[in-house]
C-alpha cells in the first residue's frame, strides 16, 4: 500500500494552506499542542482551511486555445475567476482567522 501523502499535489499556495491548517487543526483538536490555546488555534486553522478552499474554488483550471499564423496553441492555467461560493468561503475564512486572532489578544 502506497503512502497517500506521496500523491498529494501541492502546486499552489492555497493547497499548502489547506494542508498545513488541516494538520494544525487535527493536532490541536487531539490535544497534541498543549502550549497553544485551543480555541484560538482551532479558529485560526479552520479559517485557514476555509480561506484555502475559497481560493481553490476561485482558481479553476482554464484552457485557452489561440490560433496564430495558421497554427493552434493551447495553454492551461489556474487564472483567478470570481465565484460567489469561493468568495463566501474566503470571507468566512477571514472572519474565523480574525476571530481567532482577536481571542488571542
Q: What is the mean pLDDT of residues 74-95?
A: 89
* Mean pLDDT of the region 85-102: 96
Distance of alpha carbon 104 from alpha carbon 41, whole angstroms: 9
CB atoms within 10 A of CB 103: 13
Q: By mean pLDDT, which of 58-62, 84-88, 97-101 is the weakest?
A: 58-62
- Three cell numbers, residue 12: 499552489
**DSSP β-bridge partners for residue 77:** 62
- Binned at pLDDT 50, 70 and 90, residue 1 comes out as low
pLDDT of residue 67: 82
Range of the domain at 30: 4-104
- Looking at the DSSP bridge assignments, the partners of residue 100 are none
Q: pLDDT by residue (tens digit) across 7-52?
A: 778 888 899 999 999 999 999 999 999 999 999 999 999 999 999 9
Domain count of the fold of the chain? 1
Amino acid at each position: 500500500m502506497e503512502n497517500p501523502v506521496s500523491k498529494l499535489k501541492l502546486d499552489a499556495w492555497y493547497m499548502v494552506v489547506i494542508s498545513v491548517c488541516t494538520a494544525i487543526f487535527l493536532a490541536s483538536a487531539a490535544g497534541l499542542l498543549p502550549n497553544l490555546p485551543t480555541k484560538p488555534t482551532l479558529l485560526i486553522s479552520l479559517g485557514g482551511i476555509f480561506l484555502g478552499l475559497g481560493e481553490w474554488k476561485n482558481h479553476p483550471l482554464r484552457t485557452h486555445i489561440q490560433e496564430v499564423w495558421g497554427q493552434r496553441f493551447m495553454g492551461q492555467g489556474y487564472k483567478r475567476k470570481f465565484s460567489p461560493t469561493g468568495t463566501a468561503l474566503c470571507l468566512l475564512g477571514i472572519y474565523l482567522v480574525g476571530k481567532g486572532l482577536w481571542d488571542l489578544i
